Structure 1
Amino acid sequence: MKNCETYTASEARENLSEIINKALYKNPVIITRRKEAVAVIPLELLNRITDLEAKYDAELAATSLEEFDKTGGITLKRLKEELGM
């Protein structure tokens, strides 16, 4: 994310209260440790992200089901039989 403050894990331990306050006021913070990174974000933002993911997954499932219905796909049972399972 652009314009996010970044802290090392050591700095984060020393400034935890400040980091939490930033996240509460809609300022995500990135914490790094050994070239890995995590983000501290408001719970509201996390909820919106997970809602969007769920909506996307539902749309993919609906599209797949429509395709299955149109093409007359095969059942799992038949697929296993064809694969000798």
Structure 2
Amino acid sequence: DIGYTHRRSVHLGSDVAAHESMPGVHRVAALLQRWLLGTHHGAIQPKQLDSYLDEFVFRFNRRTSKSRGLLFYRLLQRSILTSPITYKDVIKK
């Protein structure tokens, strides 16, 4: 148990604003919006939205990581320890 409890609530028609009752969700949504406008200057394509969200989640989850500088080193280690993959293997269904 990590201490989180699920509390179901309906906000439609509520007197309490959503940003007051769910500040964490509001903060992440605001960060996402600021990141999209700042990094991509708002020029995002709906077809690519999943990719943008994947990148945002990756960056958000690693924001407090102590070993961000080791990312390339770890990638290099993995590439050396992994056996080669042929083009046939990549295109095989």
Name the larger-Rg structure: 1
Q: Normalising to structure 1: TM-score of the pair?
A: 0.34
Identify the structure with the greater strand proportion: 1
